[in-house]
Amino acid sequence: MARVLTRTAVPTTRAVAPVLVSTAALGVVLVAATSVGSVWVGPGALLSAVGDGVRGQVHGTVDTIVWQLRVPRVLLAALVGAALALAGAAFQGVFRNPLADPYLLGAASGAGFGASAVLVLAGSVPWLTRLGVPGAAFVCALATVAAVMVLARRDGGLPAVSLILAGVVLGSSLSAGTSFLMLAARDRAAGILSWLLGSFAFASWERVLSVAPLFLPAAAVLLLAGRALDVMQLGEESAAQLGVPVERVRLALLVAATLATAAAVAVAGVIGFVGLVVPHAVRLAFGPRHVRLLPLAAVWGAIFLVLADLFARTVLAPAELPVGIVTALVGGPFFLLLLRRQHAR
Amino acid sequence: MVQRATFLVVLLLALQTALATTYPLTVHDELGAELMLPAPPQRIVSMIPSDTETVCALGACDRLVGVDALSDWPARVASLPRLGNANDPNLERLVALKPDLVLTDEYSGLAGRTIVQASMGEYPQVDPEYVVQKDPQVVLLLDAPNGQMLAAAEARPGWSQLRAVRDGGVVALDWQQVDLLSRAGPRMGDAVVLLAWLLHPGRF
């Protein structure tokens, strides 16, 4: 790994090509994933269904399946994959720690606890019913990370070690709370577990449109910070001497990555692995510079999660696998293979 | 379908009275459906383990010619032909066995056909596309008491086109109904009547 991380920078003119090629690959994957499902939809039928949908003229089963279920589902998977991989790359860069992932500061445990609380108590607590599972997951994810940041503050700064420790400890407490809820309401446990493992079965245009306005500004902040992140890899003191406002950049990155993560988790549950491993895979394939790593992580995160969800909804059809199981079970061996081949070179 | 909706009660009546009663014998199951047995049943297929055990406990084990996949007691039934499970029986093999009495899961007998197969597990996560594609006539919301509301269910993507939504076939069950349907106890007969009423409102 060390050899890879210290690989020298490539000229910026060559930096654009991989992004273009990867984006084209994403386009192909999006179209393919929209064609495959309970009903196979050929290119012609796909175009006409999407055309009907855009004009608001959805008629018949195929139109309904494509426009109201499959297109939003594929787009949601792409958005969530991009958000998680981008946030993961940012967290790994900020903490200069290869084990960092988007859930490091407790966003997943917070979201899981909020979602579980709604799944268990919604019938008896009306305002929880109105908040809904995504609402509660989003609010609790943000609240948990905010609490971690407040707890980790030292002398006006946010030391990395305090942040990580506070995140891990608060996350453990909230996970214990979720486990308690699952034991206390056994008949809800299957529902909670399947939410915790992540799924796009509840995808809808509404969810796509609720994630996008949070993801886009967060992604813009993260992508713009690529150069500063690259300088910060030299160490925070050196970066400060080179004129990078380290504390402010770090706070902006943490807030933006947390926002993207919370939005993703709220609509799809806790999907593991994407945010940890996609940045590493991209680093292995395209080099460690954040200017290029960040956009490529977003694109490949989208590709990876769209394909994982395609697998999750087709392999046992008409039943579905939780997509979080697929990301780890299928993605894990793939990553290990990539790692070995890279070392063998 | 209703003729297959035979119950333990029918079975007990049929077997207990086999010695004392003259055939043809007419019995009523708990739906009130009439079942005429021209002679004591000699070739019985049981599609529920509890009925398999009861038939054998009544000393009629040798009259069983086929059982469902889950029947495993007493041990001698292991050698009988397996006909799948009650929700999804192997009908060709069942007919080939020429049974004169089939004891089935009462729900599967009258429920019409459920689009969710038992093989998908106890709490299956179903591809929402599949639901739209199958276009069910009736959807029972067992989760309504926990806040899964009727309006929310009907507002799910693509559901506005479902026959169940257009024809008022989406039913939010209350706690009593959910309990009744999920407990295989002495009120099972009531559960069957409830289900029949939910599925065929005009006829019960």
**pLDDT value at position A128?**
84
Q: CA-nearest residue of chain A to B121? A: A319
- Asked if the model's pLDDT at residue A150 lies above 80, the reply is yes
Collect all residues with Cβ–Cβ distance below 8 Å to B151 and sequence separation of at least 6: none
Collect all residues of chain A within an 8 Å Cβ-Cβ radius of residue B129: 37-39, 65, 69-70, 313
Give me the residue from B120, B121, B129 closest to A70, CB to CB. Answer: B129
Whether the per-residue pLDDT at B195 is higher than 50: the answer is: yes
Collapsed DSSP state (helix, strand, coil) of residue B103: strand
Does A123 contact B146 at a Cβ distance shorter than 8 Å? yes
Instruction: Please judge whether A319 and B156 are an interchain contact, meaning their C-beta atoms are less than 8 angstroms apart.
Output: no
For residue B102, give the 3-state DSSP assignment: strand
Q: Assess whether the region B2-110 and the region B118-199 belong to the same CATH fold.
A: yes
> Which of A54-63, A140-149, A336-345 is predicted most confidently?
A140-149
Structure confidence by residue, pLDDT tens digits, B13-31 = 444 444 456 777 777 665 5
CA angle A180, A184, A186 (to 5 degrees): 115
User: When comparing pLDDT for B37 and A62, which is higher?
Assistant: A62
CB contact under 8 A, A69 and B123: no
Length of chain A: 345
Contact A69 B132 (CB under 8 A): yes
pLDDT of the residue at A115? 94
pLDDT-derived band at A88 (thresholds 50, 70, 90) equals: very high
CATH architecture of B2-110: 3-Layer(aba) Sandwich (3.40)
Which chain A residues are closer than 8 Å to B125 by Cβ?
A: 194, 199, 201, 319-322
Question: pLDDT class for A176, splitting at 50, 70, 90?
Answer: very high
**How far off is chain A from B155, nearest CA to CA, in Å?**
11
Q: Which residue of B has its CA nearest to A199?
A: B125
- Weakest mean pLDDT among A77-91, A242-256, B186-200: B186-200
- pTM of the predicted protein model: 0.76
Nearest to B37 by CA among B57, B16, B53, B54: B16
* Nearest Cβ partner for A69 among B122, B123, B158: B158
User: Which DSSP string corresponds to B33-47?
Assistant: -EEEESS---SEEE-
CB contact under 8 A, B157 and A203: yes
Closest partner residue to A68 (CB to CB) among B130, B145, B157 is B157
A4 Cβ contact partners less than 8 Å away, ≥ 6 residues apart: A283, A284, A287, A288, A342
Mutating which of A36, A38, A325 best tests the B interface, going by the most B Cβ atoms within 10 A? A38
Beta carbons of B146 and A194 less than 8 Å apart? no
pLDDT above 90: residue A261: yes
Tens-digit pLDDT profile for residues A287-329 = 899 999 999 999 999 999 999 999 999 998 788 889 999 998 8
Provide mean pLDDT across the span A19-40: 93
pLDDT at position B12 over 50: no
Q: Where are the domains of chain B?
A: 2-110, 118-199
Of the candidates A37, A191, A319, the beta carbon closest to that of B129 is on A37
Given a cut of 50, whether residue B168 has pLDDT beyond it is yes
Average pLDDT over residues B185-190: 72
pLDDT band of residue B187 (cuts 50, 70, 90) is confident
CA distance A325 to A311: 11
Residue B126 has its nearest CB partner, among A69, A70, A320, at A320
Q: What is the DSSP string of B58-85?
A: TT-GGGEEEE-TT---SGGGGGSPB-EE
Of A1-15, A41-55, A124-138, give the lowest mean pLDDT range. Answer: A1-15
CB contact under 8 A, A319 and B125: yes
pLDDT-based confidence at residue A337 (cuts at 50, 70, 90): confident
Residues within 8 A of B (CB atoms), A 164-193 only: 188, 190-191
Question: What domains appear along chain A, each with residue ranges and CATH number?
Answer: 16-57+271-345 (no CATH), 100-270 (1.10.3470.10)
CB contact under 8 A, B146 and A188: yes
Contact between A68 and B121 using a beta-carbon 8 Å cutoff:
no
Select the more confidently predicted residue: A29 or B38. Answer: A29
Q: B118-199: what fold? A: Rossmann fold (3.40.50)
Write the residue in A38, A119, A319 that is nearest to B133 by C-beta.
Answer: A38
Determine the longest span between alpha carbons in chain A, in angstroms: 64
Q: What ipTM does the predicted assembly reach? A: 0.74
pLDDT over 50 at B11, yes or no: no
A317 touches chain B (CB under 8 A): yes
